[in-house]
Amino acid sequence: MDNKNIFNRLTESIREDWEYLSSIPIQEWQTQLDSLLHETSNPERVIVAFTQYLKNLPPPVETHIYKYLKTPKYLRFFERIFSQSPFITDTLIKHPEYADEILSSPTLARALTKKEWLLYLGCDYSKINSSSELISFLQDSHLLDGNDWNFKKIMIHFRQLHKKALLRITTRDIVEHQEVKSITEDLSNLADAYLELCFRLLSTYLEQQYGIPIKYDMEKGENLPSSFVILGLGKLGGRELNFSSDIDLLFIYDGDGETSGGHKGQITNREFFCKLGEQIIKFLSEHTEEGQIYRVDMRLRPYGKVGALAESLANSVEYYYQYGRAWERQALVKCRPCAGDIELGNEFLEMMRPFIFPKFFDDKTLDDIHQTKLMVEKQVAEQGQTNYEVKLGRGGIRDIEFTVQLLQLLNGGRKPELRITNTIDVIYQLMENNYLKPFDAETLIRNYCFLREVEHRLQIEYGTQKHALPQDPEELDEFARRLGYVSGSAFWHVYKDKTQEVRNILEQFIAVKASGNLWVYDLVSSQSDGREGLNKLKEFGFVDLNSARDIFRQLANGPEDSPHSLHVRENFIEIVPYLCEEFRKTHSPDKSLEQFFSQLSRLKIPGVIYSFLKENHNLCSFFVTLTTRAPALSNIWIKEPGIIEVFLQRELIGQRVDADYLTSSLRELKKSAFPESAHYRLKDSEWLRIALGDLLGKFTIAEVCEQLTLLAEVILQDIAIVSLEETKQKYGTSPFPFAVIGLGKIGGGEMTFGSDLDLIFVYDDEHINSTDKIDTTSISPTEYFADVSSRIIKKLKEPTRFGILYDIDARLRPYGSKGVLAINLNQLKEYYEHEADIWEKMALMKSRVIFEQGVMTTDISKILTDLAFHFPVSKEDVQKSENIRQKMVQQTNPDNLKKSEGGTAELEYIVRWWQRLKIEQCPELATSSVVNALNILMNVLPEHTEKWQFLKKTFGIYLQILNRYRLFTGVRSSTLSNEILSALPQLLPEIQFTPTPVEYLKDLKRKVHQFYLETLKSVQQWIE
């Protein structure tokens, strides 16, 4: 922004101020000014204020101007104050000397204590121990005319100091960016200091008139001075005051009696302390030419507006126990002695502890608290400010405070550490005591600080009690820039997200009963019309409310002929709010609930699940995700509900495990009461863990495939060892090496849920590894290893009471189903060198040794590489391959994601052909992984990088779709039905299926096929 552009944007009324600033003859000042106005949220406001400030500087003016305009610290200070707070700006312009004093303060980095603020106000009460000393202090400060109290002069003096104090705290906030908790503590300690100041000043004044209040001490049997305490509630009580807060106060004195008498005679202690209260309120809140210090709210005192301003300790305690209502109990949660006799205040709070924090809550009291909250929300809604009210609006400050105070009320009777007043400190304690989940606690603290900062910015501007955000777009833009956002819309997006986060947490606790939620009881009770529960379901996004209520009632109460016990019902009622919160996050809460119910209803003992989720509320999200997006896995946990304990290993959900971890887990499972179930239990628990990691977005598709492949490898390797041992027990030890080769998905490390295992079994009868010999007269090596192989296949695919591990496809072995089950190494080489079709050789590209025992004559991996990647190719081979592909396409449903034109099979054909074309140039291309091959091709043929990246991304998308499809349906087919195609946006929300899933996939397939045709031409040219 240059000078000319700034000048053109200015209104006529401030051009004179702009010209004044522009004319200051200080080197580099113009550059500084341009930068200053470019960065500020309100250039015009800064120009006007800066001009007024500079023109009001005391002599020597030039010295001050030079220092201020050349020092970045001062410029930053002025820009922040002038642009954000006309209210504070007025103070600075009237008192320009404050700038040096504040910016040179060594305490800006921290809040001042109450004692330090008293010193700041000129009152060192450590040196003032009597009324006479206080009067001498006031006289020395020229605040008393002789012995006459000039309250107007005194009030003006302390109002000026208050503005100076606010300037200091504002600087800490908007210039130094100190933490919100430190700012609110600073403001609260300042208020404490003023209350202490008022108490000392005004009690001295009243004692001159009426004498000292005297009470009779029954224990000591003598008259003693009566003491007085000022208690703060609300934000003051929590040390959370903002820049324009009311201060909510209680005045309590410790005993009735009469004053000792003064020049106006005697009065009762009650009258004395009521007068003291009146004077304190007047001193703080009366408007003068310097404004007021605080607005004082006394409506929370016993009997409210009709009650006395000050009440005795005994009467106050009696009132609350006899007449105290739920909202008064809640208000006292944040009660704190601020000034006067602090010990008296603590005595009052200790006497009130059973009232404020009962050990057990009745539902009626909690319902009253709930109704109070709803009434406030209704009032805000009627004003049309639900979404704009930072304090009382939906997800605002009061929602956080309500959540925290409700949990304090419920649990403070048993947990003394929860009986504190500061919201942030309480949240930490609630988390430490497991009443708030760590993530929720962190969210509440973060958003509380955010909302309080927004509230401060609203109130700093004009020093008014403002809580509503600007609704005018231009005003919101300007306000957002003051907070550091580029625009109002950017700020609004963050604000809405944070308030929604708060509201989501509040919904877990609002109207909580000692054993559940009021609205949940209403929802599932047969004696209720369910109105409150239905309204709540509507808030959670349910549409068919009556149907949803029926399901919840069945889940809670069980079937009529076999109803759930009270314990099971209560457990379910407690988890309903958490479940509903998770249903809200799904695409269709109604459908998600139906899926949840269809699976839970299959459980013979659903109480196991209810109890588990009750003790682990935070795992409800995992369970809802599993039941709604991976119902195909329901048989796993329905068969063995205890397996859900895998959820407790939250650190493993989203963590990739290695083979050592899986092998160790398998070893431990074999030590159980049912060792024969070990492989099945390992697979089931890992499938649940990997599925959750996938659905929760913690794994990429490559990581999902990698872990599913690793799991299959560990299970296959262990079963191969067991099978070899069984054959050994029957026929003796074989001296020959043996290997299991994986092809297809396991060979390429690309297994999805439900993938077959394509296996070839190989032995080497020309290389003896030991002196052990089998009885060759009874069994040949071919038969021996066929026995081993058949045992492996049987253990992997045979149905048992624990389920099935993997389906096995051995048809890719040499000679297919007509060939022997296990083949020797020479026969393998002979077959692929002289008899295998082109498609078999290309399939071998995805081969990999999964298990090997003994040492082969030659490295089997090298043999596989030579056979798979270095075979000769003729025109006839290419045509034969193309004929096979075309026949496969013609016989396949167009919606088949694997075999249709442009599907995974064709994509892999592209990669295999390019591997064969470039293997001599780049031996590293001898990899079984499609993704690895594509990564290498980007370096080998960089001119086609865009195509390789497209194929890599598309391959991942295809795998993701097949993965989620199989998790959702349990069907291993690759053909996507119309229902599944329409559901893809819900199954895979991380992919934008635009304009529709059908069109999206059609476009991907078209591009894949186009590249395949181009590849075919390249192959033909290579042959020629």
SS (H, E, C) 925-938: HCCCCHHHHHHHHH
Which pLDDT value is given to residue 361?
63
Closest Cα to residue 696, out of 650, 745, 665, 658? Answer: 650
Mode of pairing for the β-strands spanning 848-853 and 738-743: antiparallel
Q: How far apart are CA 685 and CA 499, in angstroms?
A: 37
Which pLDDT value is given to residue 2?
46
pTM for this entry = 0.53
Using only C-alpha atoms, what is the Rg of the chain? 40
Q: How far apart are CA 637 and CA 649, in angstroms?
A: 16
What is the pLDDT confidence band of residue 770, given thresholds at 50, 70 and 90?
low
Lowest-confidence segment of 85-99, 633-647, 719-733, 903-917 by average pLDDT? 633-647
Q: How far apart are CA 89 and CA 170, in angstroms?
A: 11
- For residue 388, the one-letter residue type is Y
DSSP state of 468: B
Which pLDDT value is given to residue 515?
40
Residue 602: pLDDT above 70? yes
Among 180-194, 320-334, 359-373, which range has the highest average pLDDT? 180-194
Average pLDDT value for the chain: 86
Q: How far apart are CA 870 and CA 919, in angstroms?
A: 8
Which pLDDT value is given to residue 26?
84
245, 458 contact by CB (below 8 A): no
DSSP character string of 692-754: HHHHTT-S-HHHHHHHHHHHHHHHHHHHHHHHHHHHHHHH----S-EEEEEEHHHHHT---TT
What is the pLDDT confidence band of residue 957, given thresholds at 50, 70 and 90?
very high
334, 368 contact by CB (below 8 A): no
pLDDT digits (tens, 9 = 90+) for 478-532: 899 988 898 999 999 999 999 999 988 887 776 444 344 667 877 887 656 778 8
Q: How far apart are CA 760 and CA 1005, in angstroms?
A: 32
900, 915 contact by CB (below 8 A): no
Would you state the structure tokens that stand for residue 1003, as one six-digit string? 């476009």
φ and ψ at residue 127, rounded to 5 degrees: -110, 0
φ and ψ at residue 588, rounded to 5 degrees: -140, 100
Which pLDDT value is given to residue 108?
93
What is the pLDDT confidence band of residue 735, given thresholds at 50, 70 and 90?
confident
Q: How far apart are CA 607 and CA 626, in angstroms?
A: 18
Q: How far apart are CA 857 and CA 766, in angstroms?
A: 7
522 vs 421 pLDDT, higher one = 421
Q: How far apart are CA 473 and CA 209, in angstroms?
A: 57
DSSP character string of 48-113: HHHHHHHHTPPSSHHHHHHHHHH-HHHHHHHHHHHHH-HHHHHHHHH-TTHHHHHHT-TTTTSPPP
Tell me what percent of the residues of the chain surpass a pLDDT of 90.
Answer: 43
Angle at which helices 180-210 and 438-462 cross, to 10°: 60
How far is C-alpha 113 from the geometric centre of its chain's CA atoms?
A: 34
pLDDT digits (tens, 9 = 90+) for 450-487: 999 999 989 988 888 888 899 899 999 989 998 889 89
310, 273 contact by CB (below 8 A): yes
Which pLDDT value is given to residue 1?
40
Which pLDDT value is given to residue 517?
61
CA angle 937–939–940, rounded 5-degree value: 60
Q: Find tokens 């189903």 and name the residue.
A: 817
User: Residues with Cβ < 8 Å from 814, sequence gap 6 or more?
Assistant: 760, 823, 827, 828, 831, 832, 835, 836
What is the pLDDT confidence band of residue 272, given thresholds at 50, 70 and 90?
very high
How far is C-alpha 311 from the geometric centre of its chain's CA atoms?
A: 46
